[in-house]
A and B are shown apart, each in its own frame.
Chain A
Amino acid sequence: MSLLQISEPGQSPEPHQRRLAVGIDLGTTHSLVAAVRSSAAECLPDAQGRVLLPSIVHYAAGGAVEVGYEALARAGDDPANTVSSVKRFMGRGVADVAKYGALPYRFVDAPGMVAIETAAGLRSPVQVSAEILKALRARAEESLGAELFGAVVTVPAYFDDAQRQATKDAARVAGLNVLRLLNEPTAAAIAYGLDNASEGTFAVFDLGGGTFDLSVLRLTRGVFEVLSTSGDSALGGDDFDQAIAMHWRVTHGLADASGRDTRRLLAAARAVKERLSAAQSADAQVTLSWGQQLHLGLTRREFEEITAPLVQKALGPTRKALRDAGLAPAQVDGVVLVGGATRMPHLQRAVAAFFGREPLVNLDPEQVVALGAAIQANALAGNRAAGEDWLLLDVIPLSLGLETMGGLVEKVIPRNSTIPVARAQEFTTFKDGQTAMAIHVVQGERELVSDCRSLARFELRGIPPMVAGAARIAVTFQVDADGLLSVSARENTTGVSASVVVKPSYGLTDDEVAAMLRSGFDHAQADRDARALAEQRVEAEGLVAALRAALAQDADLLAPDERGALEGGIASVDAARQGADHRALKSAVEALNRLSEPFAARRMDRSVSRALAGRRLDEVQVK
């Protein structure tokens, strides 16, 4: 079953229709979209044949939005309305972005996350990222010739919950069905590992434009198991440009260059940096806003000296990830370099020296993440080829905990736990008759709440009045396969219980996402309704088909009345599918989902039981 796949005349439909799914690398400086076509993953180019889309969005006063190279062309003249490196602002507050130094934007402290004042109005980093994702989606739909079923969007492994949530929200605002958020180094490992049929322990050193990740993976017979991950979500190739620009500012006495000049200096710095990967020296000409012509030069040696601290900075997380995996550098069988910034020779030397082996560079470091994401997307959409049976087991990068007395953090889920993971911790009241408890969820490794990132605060009310210490409040953390957290709390002593589920404070509610979708200029109301109906129909069709197949297999797991109820639910969805009301269809689908849950649970139980019985049989036969 596929999403609105229409065969053009003369074009034969595929015998087994595939769902179109893409992998998207939403990068700090560049973004890419890739798809599996005729069994190989490839990056999809734009009409000019370019696969990289600069992650830059320009907002004009009339509301017109330009993305990519068109936006890049505006950066020099209209820096305040040309947003680049927006990934650095995802899920971040004003205090965080202040650390990036002089930026040519007008930041506004919106609740949870900064917003940027542009000529077209206030834009959240989620909306800016959504523009980039929309451009990639359009490119993919154009080149694949149909609407997408879904996408895997990559995030730095070291992204915290707020940054992940913001990324997922951006994809939703762009109208993408997010099949999975995938960690960038893990995506690279999939592309690399499947390509080379590798076995063993690998370190993926991923230095992108704005983020650094180091993941250690074990590859065994089709299982990609992340052992540990570490990184710095604010270290990247951009910092090397900044270091060069800062060097020029000092040597040329440009202490207070304007936003526009900052942009020009950075552009020159980047060009010089890239040329220094091959040349021993490079130079650039820059015209400043007051007309002054500057000749700026740099030797590779100078470059390596001024950026040595940045290279060292990447080795700290590298050591930490290895220690968490319980490995010495020599025990790593291969080091894979990912990200454009790993082209710098002194970085490659430092990595080679640290691991005592030459890193592997046989895949394009800029494309490998998108390719891995495309392979994963294809598998998640159900298009696995026979024999293509691999599994991915990833981890959370940062510990999750709760604030306890005295501003201390009680860790609930430690970093590098394999996801999905759930853990409950029990707390009690400290005052007689206490009926409410404040719950503050934080993420990070430090002991003090003030040194960790605050994710969410909520209150559990309705605790029956008891003496201090008598209540038993279980706080449960659940991290799903996207690495996203939800928290619930329950008081369960005297049969009285209350619970609440929260989303982290940076997460947008469905209403907010809907509002952002509405604020787009590209769809009239009727279009949006038609699209919503089409999406709902696809979902309904998939659900009904899956349930019918399940019933054909395992109907004996249901009592006659349960089966009747399920058939009734299917009939309601079928009826709503014929209608034009997407809301009615949505509620029928939701009802059927609820109704089918016990059936799904019993089927899974049966599948596991059969596997266990099968294994016992194998063992008996071996003996």
Chain B
Amino acid sequence: MKPDFTRNHFELLGLPVSYAVDAAALDRAYRDLQGRVHPDRFAASGEAERRVAMQWATRANEAYRTLRNPIDRARYLLALKGYDTGEESNTAMPPDFLMQQMEWREAVAEGRAARDPAALERLRGEIEDSRAEMHALLARALGGDRNYDAGCSLVRKLRFLDRIEAEIDDALEALAEGAGGAHPATSLKGHD
């Protein structure tokens, strides 16, 4: 039997249902909860208790992971309000954002080709600035404005930023490994 999970992530951690989250309070609440439900607390108990503990700890980890990350938190909050961010289905973006995105993508490719980690780091800084701006907008949309459509659009945009940053990370990783002596192809582990 599954535990009764009627509480949402905010309620489970004893936090107000809101986009604005006090990071320290979130950390504290998560640790308190895990301290109570973690399987390590029940390692010497019966099988039923161990299984229930695993389900609860799994649930606590999911809640913490979701609420800690601003995009995941926004998406989750929007879902609670009945809004689907439509990140897979809705790919329509304003033209200026699409232009910006193409420029960034090209800059990643150039930085990679030129083996220029400094340029990639600069680009990351630029994207971080954009991200901070969007986060402020998101906080306003989901806070006082209650503009959930704008919230959905911002979540979609932030997802794009995540992907570009992942590309930058990959490029930096490839450069670091190349410089580190071991060639990536020889340091990869083989498999069966």
Contact surface of A with B, Cβ cutoff 8 Å: 19, 92-93, 95-96, 99, 149-150, 179-180, 220, 223, 232-234, 308-309, 312-313, 315-316, 319-320, 323, 376, 379-382, 389, 391-393, 417-422, 444, 450-454, 478, 480-481, 542-543, 546-547, 592-594, 596-602, 604-605, 607-608, 611-612, 615-616
Bound Cα distance A543, B45 (Å): 7
Q: Which of B33, B39, B43, B192 contacts A608 (CB 8 A)?
A: B33
Interface residue tally on B, bucketed by range: 35 or more
Find B191's partner among A451, A600, A615 (CB 8 Å cutoff).
A451
Do A382 and B51 touch across chains, with their CB atoms under 8 A apart? no
Asked whether B65 is an interface residue with its Cβ less than 8 Å from the other chain, the reply is yes
B 89-139 contacts with A by CB, 8 A:
none
**Bound Cα distance from A519 to B40, whole angstroms:** 33
B49 at the interface (CB under 8 A from A): yes
| Interface bits B1-17 vs A (CB < 8 Å: 1, else 0) | 11110000001101000
Contacts of A382 in B (CB 8 A): 43-44
- Of A233, A309, A598, the residue contacting B182 (CB under 8 A) is A309
Take A313-B182, A601-B3, A616-B14 as given contacts and tell me if A454 and B192 are in contact as well, using a CB distance cutoff of 8 Å. yes
Given A96-B190, A600-B49, A615-B14: A608 and B40 within 8 A (CB)?
Answer: no
Closest to A619 in B: B14
B30-57 vs A, CB cutoff 8 Å, 1 = contact: the mask equals 0111111111100111111101111011
A and B contact pairs by CB, cutoff 8 A, 23 listed: A93-B192, A96-B190, A149-B44, A179-B43, A180-B40, A223-B31, A380-B44, A381-B43, A381-B44, A421-B61, A450-B191, A478-B54, A481-B57, A542-B45, A542-B46, A546-B46, A596-B49, A600-B52, A601-B1, A604-B49, A604-B52, A604-B56, A605-B4
Chain B residues in 8 Å Cβ range of A418: 61, 64-65
Q: Is B176 an interface residue (CB 8 A)?
A: yes
Q: Which residues of B contact A (CB under 8 A)?
A: 1-4, 11-12, 14, 27, 29, 31-40, 43-49, 51-54, 56-58, 61-62, 64-65, 169, 173, 176-177, 180-182, 187-192
Residue among B12, B14, B44, B188 with the highest chain A CB neighbour number at 10 A: B44
Contact (A615, B32) CB under 8 Å given A481-B40, A481-B57 = yes
Instruction: Check if A611 sits within 8 Å of B32, measured CB to CB.
Output: yes
Is A232 within 8 A of B52, CB to CB? no
- How far, in Å, is B161 (CB) from chain A's closest CB? 15
Contact of A605 with B3 in the complex, beta carbons under 8 Å: yes
Residues of A within 8 A of B191 (CB): 95-96, 444, 450-454
Chain B's closest residue to A547 (CB) is B46
Tell me if B's interface is mostly helix, strand, loop or mixed: helix
- Rounded to whole Å, the gap between the CB of B16 and the closest CB of chain A is 11
Chain B residues whose CB sits within 8 angstroms of the CB of A92 once the complex forms:
192
B57–A543 touching, CB < 8 Å: no
Contact present for A316 and B187 (CB under 8 Å): yes
Contact (Cβ within 8 A) B180 A312? yes
B46–A593 touching, CB < 8 Å: yes
The distance in angstroms between the C-alpha atoms of A521 and B135, with both chains bound, is 66
Q: When the two chains form their complex, are residues A312 and B181 in contact, meaning their CB atoms are under 8 A apart?
A: yes
Minimum Cβ distance to chain A for residue B56 (Å): 6
B1 touches which of A379, A381, A598, A612 (Cβ 8 Å)? A598
Partner of A391, one of B4, B35, B177, B180: B35
Interchain nearest-CB distance for B83 vs A (Å): 20
Q: Which residues from chain B contact A389 at a C-beta distance below 8 Å?
A: 35
Alpha-carbon separation in the docked complex, A380 to B27 (Å): 24
Question: CA A315 – CA B53 in complex, angstroms?
Answer: 37
CA distance A199 to B47 in the complex (A): 34
Task: For residue A243, give the distance in angstroms from its CB to the closest CB of chain B.
Answer: 14
Residues of chain A contacted by B64 (CB below 8 angstroms): 418
Closest to B191 in A: A453
Q: How far is the CB of B127 from chain A (nearest CB, A)?
A: 15
Nearest residue, chain B, Cβ from A611: B36
Closest Cβ–Cβ distance, residue B173 to chain A (whole Å): 7
